[in-house]
Amino acid sequence: MKIRVSRLGQRVALAALLLMLSASAGCKDRQWKLWSSYSARFIDAQGRVYDPQGDQHTTSEGQAYAMFFSLVANDRPSFDRVFSWTQANLAGGNMELRLPAWKWGKSADGPWKPLDTNSASDADLWMAYSLVEAGQLWNNPIYTNLGLKMAALIARTEVVNLPGFGLMLAPGPTGFQHGSNWLLNPSYLPVFLFERLASADPSGPWGEIAAGIPRLLAQSARHGYAMDWVEYVPGDGFYPVASPGAGSFGREPEAPMGSYDAIRVYLWSGMVNETGSLRGELLAATPAMSAYLANHNAPPEKVSDRGLPLAQDGPVGFSAAVLPYLLALGASQANGRQMVRMNALRNSASGLYGKDLSYYDQNLALFGTGFLDGRFGFGPGGELKVDWKRQ
C-alpha cells in the first residue's frame, strides 16, 4: 500500500509540475522555445557556442551540450553546424583521430585558437553519445560510426585503471595523475551515457565504468553531498580536493567543496531510467541535498567538504538541475518550490532564466525542464528517447 501511495504521489507531483512548465514555456508545442532562445543568444552562425560573460570563449562542453540539445529538438541544421565547427576548430579537422581541445578563444598574441589543447572527457563522452544517438534517430550511419570511433579514442586516452578500484573515466588525457593518486570529477559520470556505449561498443570499458560509478559517488560524497573534485588514494578511497584550475566559467571555489560542477551529479542521477539497476544506488549516494531542500527554497551555491551548506543560494540553474533528482525521490513539495523559483526568475520575453541570463544556467535549465516536460528521457540501457520520435 505504501508503494502505491508513493507512486501516486509522484504522478500527481509530475502532473502539477508539467502544468507549470506548460503555462510558462509552452511544453505542448513541438518548438522548444528555450532552445530557440538559447541558440539565438549563445550560438553564432558558424556553430560556435560562446559565453558572452566569459570573454566570448568557447568550451568543448558547450559544443557537446549544444549537439545533444539540437538532437533533442530535432534541429539537424544546428547539430551539423555545431559538430562541423567543433571538428574543424577544436579537433584539427578529424575527430576520429583527435579529441577536441577543451577551450578556444582569443590568444594573448591575437589569433582565435585553442587556448588549451587538453581535452575534457565529459564533453568528449557527450559528443560520442550524441553522435551515436543521432545516427540511430536520424538514420545516418556516418554519425554512428564517428561516435563509436570517438568512444574508442576516449577509451584509449581518457580511461584509467584505479588500483584497487577498477576502470574509471579520467577528466582528460593528461595532468590528473599525481604519483599514485588520481584526480577525478564526479559530474563527468552520467551513468546512462556509459550504459548506452556499453551496448553500442560491447568490447569497450563502458559497462565496468558504469558499475563503478555508484561506488565512487557513495565513497566521495562522505557527508551526503556531491563534491566538485575528488582525489583517489589507492587503498584509502576518495577525498574532496580543490579544483585543479579556474574551472568552468571561472567560478570554481578555491577550497574543496561541492558547487558548480557537483550540481550536475544530482541532475544525472535524477534522469536515470526508473527501471535502471543502478538508479537506487545513485540516488542513495547523495541524500543530504534532498534533506536540505525539504526546508530551503534553493540549493546552496557551495557546500563545504564537511557537508556544511553555505548561506548563499545557488543561481537559478541549480534549481533546474535538482528537478529530476527531487522528482525521482518523490519530493514533490521541494520540487514545487524549485519550479516556483524558476518561474519567478524567468524572462517572459526570451524564455531564458535568471537576472543575468547566465550561459551555464541556461544549460542546466535545458536539461532540467527538457527532461521534466518529456522532451527527452533515457531508456533502461541509456538510449535516448525523444518526443518527436513518438509523434
Cβ neighbours of residue 274 closer than 8 Å, sequence gap 6 or more: 328
What are the phi and psi torsion angles at 313 (to 5°)?
A: -70, 145
Cβ neighbours of residue 305 closer than 8 Å, sequence gap 6 or more: 222, 223, 227, 240, 255, 256, 257
Q: Show contacts of 96-102: CB within 8 Å, 24+ apart.
A: 96/146, 96/149, 96/150, 96/153, 97/153, 98/153, 99/124, 99/150, 99/153, 99/154, 99/157, 99/158, 99/173, 100/60, 100/63, 100/124, 100/127, 101/60, 102/59, 102/60, 102/61, 102/172
Cβ neighbours of residue 116 closer than 8 Å, sequence gap 6 or more: 101, 102, 103
Query: 294 in helix, strand or coil?
Result: coil
Respond yes or no: is residue 61 known to be catalytic: yes
H helices of 221-315, in order, are 263-271, 279-284, 287-293
Respond yes or no: is residue 122 known to be catalytic: yes
Query: What cell does 50 get?
Result: 560562446
Which residue among 44, 51, 55, 61 is the active-site one?
A: 61
| DSSP symbols for 301-328 | S-EETTS-B-SSBPPHHHHHHHHHHHHH
Which residue among 29, 75, 96, 122 is the active-site one?
A: 122
Q: Show contacts of 209-214: CB within 8 Å, 24+ apart.
A: 209/159, 209/167, 209/168, 209/169, 210/278, 211/278, 212/165, 212/166, 212/167, 212/168, 213/189, 213/278, 213/282, 214/278, 214/281, 214/282, 214/285
What are the phi and psi torsion angles at 183 (to 5°)?
A: -95, 130
Compute the distance between CA of residue 25 and CA of residue 63 in angstroms, rounded to an integer: 24
Would you name the residues annotated as active-site residues?
Answer: 61, 122
